């Protein structure tokens, strides 16, 4: 009797700085309004080509990266026509990586979210023609949250396309009006942003109107697992502030997925206890400075996880979601 081949370890949170952008800016040109400082090229790993990425994946035990363009390529503040070109070129390059190395990469695209009509058109092209699996989007679009009716066409399309939507912040985050010091916009602001996004999608009725959405809240869902009990208390005490939500916020925890970028076993255990091991997917934030070090071994040796939880997070959940 043959032993079944285990599902691959798929990293849902791994970024790429497109070579198209690099070739332009490293030769002294601007790329659709973007310059060298936009691509974080000081981090040499952002310059790596696929073969070098694969070597790093092999060293860390990652079988497949679900590759997404780095968050700077959102470019929601630019003219929508320009952002649409940026998105199309980024998505074309991610699709090329997948075609060239189909056993090692799957793709997430980026979209011109400031123009939902253009975003839907590019989403349909990226999934139906390019074969991408979904998209990475910011927590807000020029300070507009996703509960606004303007974004309903996007959520309709995301549901129809069965898109995996990874929500990941870009600057400025919600704490930047308080201070620019101590790296707080990243270390705290990212997590605040994710919590606000969860609340807006829940209270705004998005999760009720679109029951088949697949949304992953990056960085372990931010403060959502800790904050949701207080949200429930507010939902109970102030019925007039429930928005369009049909149930307390905690009842929506299982409607989202959460990556494992939590850095400590303690916080990963808390996340699993709050949302369930079936809702946590493996992620690393590669190649950012905030990357999880030795991510696969960390989970394989964690005394905080059962064998079943470990298998679900490392292999089962994402493979099921992405049918790999």
Task: List the one residue out of 300, 304, 262 whose CA is nearest residue 280.
Answer: 262
Q: pLDDT value at position 324? A: 62
pLDDT (tens digit, 0 to 9) for every residue of the chain, 324 residues total?
566 788 999 999 999 999 999 999 999 999 999 998 887 888 889 999 999 999 999 999 999 999 999 999 999 999 999 999 999 999 999 999 999 999 999 999 999 999 999 999 999 999 999 999 999 999 999 999 999 999 999 999 999 999 999 999 998 888 877 788 898 999 999 999 999 999 999 999 999 999 999 999 999 999 999 999 999 999 999 999 999 999 999 999 999 999 999 999 999 999 999 999 999 999 999 999 999 999 999 999 999 999 999 999 999 999 999 986
Which CATH number is 35's domain given?
A: 3.20.20.140
Domain membership of residue 230 (yes or no) is: no
Domain membership of residue 198 (yes or no) is: no
> Residue 279 and residue 313: Cα distance in Å, rounded?
8
Which residue is it, tokens 């952008």?
A: 21
Is the CB of residue 204 less than 8 Å from the CB of residue 147? yes
Tokens of residue 314, six digits: 């490392």
Burial 65-96, CB ≥16 within 10 A → b, else e: bbbbbbbbbbbbebebeebbebbbbbbebbbb
Domain membership of residue 205 (yes or no) is: no
Is the CB of residue 175 less than 8 Å from the CB of residue 162? no
Q: pLDDT value at position 1? A: 59
Domain membership of residue 234 (yes or no) is: no
Domain membership of residue 94 (yes or no) is: yes
Q: pLDDT value at position 180? A: 82
Q: pLDDT value at position 15? A: 97
Q: pLDDT value at position 2? A: 62
Tokens of residue 122, six digits: 């590019």
Kind of pairing between the strands at 64-69 and 164-167? unpaired
Helices 116-128, 80-100: inter-axial angle, 10-degree rounding: 10
DSSP-assigned letter for residue 217: E
Range of the domain at 70: 10-172+211-221+254-322
Domains held by the chain: number: 1
Kind of pairing between the strands at 64-69 and 280-281? unpaired
Task: List the one residue out of 230, 223, 310 whose CA is nearest residue 265.
Answer: 310
Is the CB of residue 304 less than 8 Å from the CB of residue 270? no
Q: What is the CA radius of gyration of the chain?
A: 19
Burial class (CB in 10 A: 0-12, 13-18, 19+), 100: exposed
Dihedral sign computed on CA atoms, order 317, 318, 319, 322: positive
Domain membership of residue 248 (yes or no) is: no
Domain membership of residue 120 (yes or no) is: yes
Domain membership of residue 126 (yes or no) is: yes
Backbone φ, ψ for residue 150 (5° rounding):
-55, -30
Three-class DSSP category at 100: helix
Tokens of residue 211, six digits: 């029951």
Report how far apart, in Å, the C-alpha atoms of 124 and of each of 30, 64, 79, 119, 160 are. Answer: 28, 24, 21, 9, 10
């Amino acid at each position: 009797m043959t032993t079944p081949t285990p599902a691959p370890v798929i990293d849902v949170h791994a970024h790429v700085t497109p070579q198209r952008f690099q070739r332009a800016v490293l030769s002294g040109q601007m790329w659709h309004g973007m310059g060298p400082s936009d691509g974080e090229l000081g981090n040499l790993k952002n310059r790596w080509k696929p073969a070098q990425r694969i070597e790093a994946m092999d060293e860390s035990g990652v079988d497949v990266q679900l590759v997404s363009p780095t968050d700077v390529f959102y470019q929601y503040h630019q003219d929508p026509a320009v952002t649409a070109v940026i998105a199309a070129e980024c998505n074309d390059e991610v699709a090329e990586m997948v075609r060239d190395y189909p056993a090692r990469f799957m793709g997430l695209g980026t979209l011109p979210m400031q123009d939902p009509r253009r975003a839907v058109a590019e989403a349909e092209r990226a999934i139906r023609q390019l074969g991408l699996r979904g998209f990475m989007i910011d927590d807000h679009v020029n300070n507009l949250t996703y509960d606004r009716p303007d974004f309903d066409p996007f959520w309709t399309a995301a549901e129809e396309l069965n898109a995996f939507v990874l929500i990941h912040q870009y600057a400025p985050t919600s704490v930047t009006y308080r201070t620019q010091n101590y790296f707080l916009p990243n270390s705290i602001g990212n997590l605040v942003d994710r919590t606000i996004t969860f609340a807006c999608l829940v209270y705004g009725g998005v999760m009720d109107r679109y029951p088949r959405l697949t949304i992953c809240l990056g960085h372990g869902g931010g403060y959502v697992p800790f904050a949701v009990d207080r949200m429930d208390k507010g939902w109970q005490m102030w019925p007039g502030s429930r928005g369009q939500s049909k149930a307390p916020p905690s009842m929506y925890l299982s409607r989202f997925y959460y990556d494992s970028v939590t850095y400590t076993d303690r916080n990963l255990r808390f996340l699993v206890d709050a949302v369930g091991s079936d809702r946590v997917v493996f992620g690393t934030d590669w190649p950012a400075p905030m990357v999880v070090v030795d991510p696969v071994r960390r989970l394989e040796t964690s005394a905080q996880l059962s064998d079943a939880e470990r298998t679900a997070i490392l292999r089962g959940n994402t493979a099921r979601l992405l049918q790999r």
